[in-house]
Amino acid sequence: MSSQIDFFWRLPTHGCSSSVRNPDLSRGDWVPLKEGNQAPGLYEGVSDGTTYIDHVAQIAKAAEISGFHGGLIPSFPMTDDPWVISSHLARETKTFRFMIAFQPGFINPVETARLTASLQRATGGRALFNIITGGGGPSQLWWGDSFAHDDRYGRTTEFLDILKGVWKDGPFSYDGRFYSVEGGTLPPALAATDLPEIYFSGSSDAALASASKHADFYLTWLEPFEQLKAKFAAVKEKTDALGRRIKCSIRVDLIARPTEEEAWADAKAGFEATAHKRSDSFRQASDSVGAARQAAFKASDAKHYDDLIIGPNLWTGFSLLRGGPALGIVGSYEQCAERLDELIALGADGFILAGTPHLEEAYRVGEEVLPLVRGRQASLSIAAE
Amino acid sequence: MTEFYWQLPTGGDNRSGAFDQLSRNTRPTPNATIRDLRRNQFNNFDYLSQIARAAEMAGFDGLSIPYDAEGESAWIVAGAIAREVRRPKLVIDFSPGLGSAVYAAKQAVTFQRYSGNRLGWALASNADGAARRALGDFVNDADLAARLEEFLTVSKGVASQADFTFKGRFFEVLNGGFGGPLSGLDLPEITLSGDSDEALILSAKHADVHVFALGTYDLEDRVATLKAQAAEHSRTVRIAVKARVFTHDDAARARLDAERASFSEDADTLAGDFAGVASELARLGADRFILFAPNSLETAYRIGEHVLPLVRQSQRQAA
């Protein structure tokens, strides 16, 4: 197993603000067009003809130039679609890998195999998945996913069985509880491409059984370090026992600045700028265990930004600044790198980082923080302390 | 004005297989005595992109991106060329049986936002049950039309309504609908096809464009029937004719090219000199022509440079 650490960035799929100090969206068309807006912008009083993909392209290029492998492309009801984003940027990026957030209920596994193999050909093998196992019930029906089932991970397993079977062992037949296929195959030129790497989430035994069969990385939001350590140990132990150890990756936002004072000043400014509209984005979220853990930080109840500091450089106020999890890292470049090293020491093999604004922060984090990460070398000295 | 669409060879064409095994050309390549620096740097996407640009520069109004069991995903091809060609419409072949209708609509909405409403859907499922099952689609022949109707109801519903609920035999959605900048966009133009009575009835109700193959039996009658049925629904459906084209300044050479490619006897083949092809297109009088050729790049230029000007000049004179 490689000891190197994989760093990804995130592509924001429903707009971005120009500063963490002022979280109002100003890039993309999720707000009315006004002076200073980007993609679309105003030029001589009318739309300048750019669309949000022009800005997303800028972020992807910044991330690849700055040393990130690629980016997670989230998919929610209010976002643009990751397959469309990936195919649009396929030919104008060089190394950027497209991590497509995807639920098995969206597209059947045979069609998904063809889409993905074609995307591999369009990009020279730069597609990968963040498989999300949807929870069933009304939120799935919004998506038109009408499978009535409680065996969520059973369906994900079948989906990936068929996707891989059609791709690599065609003509492939399968008669499952959720999906079937008779003689499914891809044309040779498509079948010759590599299967996408798979990032996977979920904490239950059923999730880990599915992950150990098909996943390459187990993906989690940042949680308090001891909690994460136990989680990673359990994932690695269980998937070891099931015959295929998987790696662990952490999705986390950063506010990284030359000094710790500047970083906290920006967190404070963002906190205060959103004081008038406190609505913790995870309050009315899904039945996800991970989402419940983030909501438990109760960021929206805080009176002062520093009520939300739960450890060195750890702040639970990020959910106030944008949709997404609460806990993230705030600190100097050195401190951010130290926290990442600690996470590597307790079992992280990779990260999906993000910061606002996503374009400028991709350069900043890539140029200022990533060079300071010591990775496994640091793990040894941290373990010795 | 008549619209001209060029069809991309998503499953390869007669181009050499040297840069990609996805090719209809089986000639052995490359020549080992010549140092070849291409390695694996190119594949059919590079060629498709070049054809798409050729069609744009040659004055085509749109690109037809077909489903081909032996080829690329039409969705991915459309996305990959969308930022390289800025004017032509991009019509993808796509089966309504391969996933959630809501998700398809959501993908379409993103595509429309990024492309300036240039996406079209040519909706069809394979008529052969075994071919459908190989795609993981187990619907019965008798249900194809009903499923297509439900697909259109749901995809239009979520794109145009804020709180859309539907429970049908094939698709279901609860409190669906897109918000913010994802709402209020034009759904893709809908192209349907087929020459059966059932296909025409479906198109009369739902299609923006109905495509017939050149050589369709009793084409004039079929067109008249469809137009009359559409009128009963107070709708108009534009008629498209799809044809394979061989053309040259010398008609004999065009016919020779068709023979060499073994397509001279096919009913959907049109072979002739520039003026002959132009006058045949004028005689057919469709609202849209979807043209293709086994030498896709060369023929797109040739038609754009020599045939489209003749058709458009004569239309301007008539107008």
Q: What is the pLDDT of residues B275-291, one digit of tens each?
A: 999 999 999 999 999 99
Instruction: For residues B137-161, give the mean pLDDT.
Output: 95
pLDDT digits (tens, 9 = 90+) for B203-248: 999 999 999 999 999 999 999 999 999 999 999 999 999 999 999 9
Q: What is the mean predicted confidence (pLDDT) over A331-337?
A: 98
**What average pLDDT does range A279-297 have in this prediction?**
63
**ipTM given for this complex:** 0.93
- Domains located in chain A, CATH noted: 6-102+201-372 (3.20.20.30)
Instruction: Tell me the chain B residues in contact with residue A88 when contact means C-beta distances shorter than 8 Å.
Output: 79-80, 82-83, 114
How many angstroms separate the CA atoms of A368 and A335, rounded? 11
Q: What is the pLDDT of residues A372-384, one digit of tens each?
A: 999 888 777 776 6
Q: Which residues pair with A135 in a beta bridge?
A: none
Nearest to B103 among A87, A144, A146 (CB): A144
pLDDT at A179 over 80: yes
| Residue-level pLDDT at A151 | 83
Q: What's the domain range around B206? A: 3-236
Chain B CB contacts of A188 below 8 Å: 21-22
- For residue B99, give the nearest of A106, A121, A181 by CB distance: A106
Count of domains observed in chain B: 1
When mean pLDDT is compared across A19-23, A122-126, B112-116, the lowest value belongs to A19-23
CATH number at residue B125: 3.20.20.30
A162 touches chain B (CB under 8 A): yes
For residue A3, what pLDDT is reported? 81
Within a domain: B295: no
User: Which residues on B lie below 8 Å from A78 (Cβ)?
Assistant: 179-180, 182
Contact between B72 and A118 using a beta-carbon 8 Å cutoff? yes
In a domain? residue B315: no
Q: In degrees rounded to 5, what are phi and psi of residue A355?
A: -155, 155
Q: Which residue of B has its CA nearest to A146?
A: B172
CB contact under 8 A, B172 and A144: yes
Q: Whole-angstrom Cα distance, residue A127 to residue A249? A: 17
Question: Nearest residue of B to residue A178 by CA position?
Answer: B136
pLDDT recorded at residue A149: 65
B87 part of a folded domain: yes
Residue of A nearest to B85 (CA): A88
- Identify the band that residue B168 occupies on the pLDDT scale cut at 50, 70 and 90: very high
pLDDT(B54) > 80: yes
Long-range contact pairs involving B127-132 (C-beta distance under 8 Å, separation at least 24)? B130/A182, B130/A183, B131/B69, B132/B97
Which bin fits A32, alpha (ψ -120 to 50), beta or left (φ > 0)? beta
Mean of per-residue pLDDT scores for chain B: 94
**Surface of A (15-54) touching B: CB under 8 A:** 28-30, 51-53
Residue of A nearest to B12 (CA): A189
Residue B189 has φ and ψ, to the nearest 5°, of: -60, 140
What is the per-residue pLDDT for A243?
Answer: 82
- The stretch B151-158 carries a mean pLDDT of 96
CB contact under 8 A, A184 and B135: yes
B179 assigned to some structural domain: yes
Residue B293 lies in a domain: no
Decide if B207 is inside a domain.
yes
Local structure of residue B234 (DSSP, 8 states): T
A73 interface with B at CB cutoff 8 Å:
no
Residue B60 included in any domain: yes
- Give residue B307's pLDDT band: very low, low, confident or very high (50, 70, 90): very high
The Cα of A175 is separated from the nearest Cα of chain B by a number of Å equal to: 10
Mean pLDDT in chain A? 91
Q: Which residue on chain A is closest to B97 by alpha carbon? A: A108
Question: Average pLDDT, stretch A284-303?
Answer: 73
pLDDT at position B89, please? 98
More confident residue, A64 or A324: A64
What CA–CA distance (Å, rounded) separates A115 from A110?
Answer: 9
Averaged pLDDT, A259-282: 85
Whether chain A has a CB inside 8 Å of the CB on B106: the answer is: yes
pLDDT the model gives residue A193: 96
Q: Decide if pLDDT at A283 tops 90.
A: no
Cis peptide leading into residue A357 (ω within 30°)? yes
A198 min Cα distance to partner chain B (Å): 20
pLDDT confidence of residue A279: 56
Chain B touched by A217 (CB under 8 Å): no
pLDDT digits (tens, 9 = 90+) for B292-301: 999 999 999 9
- Whether A326 shows a pLDDT value over 50: the answer reads yes
pLDDT at residue number A358: 97
Q: What is the β-pairing status of strands B172-176 and B164-167?
A: antiparallel
Provide the pLDDT for residue A310: 95
pTM confidence score: 0.94
pLDDT tens, position by position, A228-241 = 999 999 999 988 88
Tell me which of A11, A114, A132, A179 to substitute to probe the interface with B (most B C-beta atoms closer than 10 Å). A114
In chain A, what residues touch B134 (CB-CB under 8 Å)?
110, 171, 181-185
For residue A163, pLDDT over 70 is answered with yes
Q: How large is the C-alpha radius of gyration of chain B?
A: 21
Residue B26 contacts A where some CB pair is shorter than 8 Å:
no
> Is B113 a domain residue?
yes
Which of A286, A265, A150 has the alpha carbon at shortest distance from A206? A150
User: Among B73, B83, B111, which would you mutate to test the A interface (most chain A Cβ atoms within 10 Å of its Cβ)?
Assistant: B73
Gap between the terminal Cα atoms of chain B: 10
From residue B296, give the alpha-carbon distance in Å to each of B47, B122, B309.
Answer: 10, 20, 19
Asked if A181 lies within 8 A of B75 by C-beta distance, the reply is no
Q: What phi and psi, each to the nearest 5 degrees, are found at residue B251? A: -60, -35
Q: What is the mean pLDDT of residues A74-92?
A: 96
- Looking at beta carbons, which residues of chain B come within 8 Å of A143? 100, 102-103, 173, 176
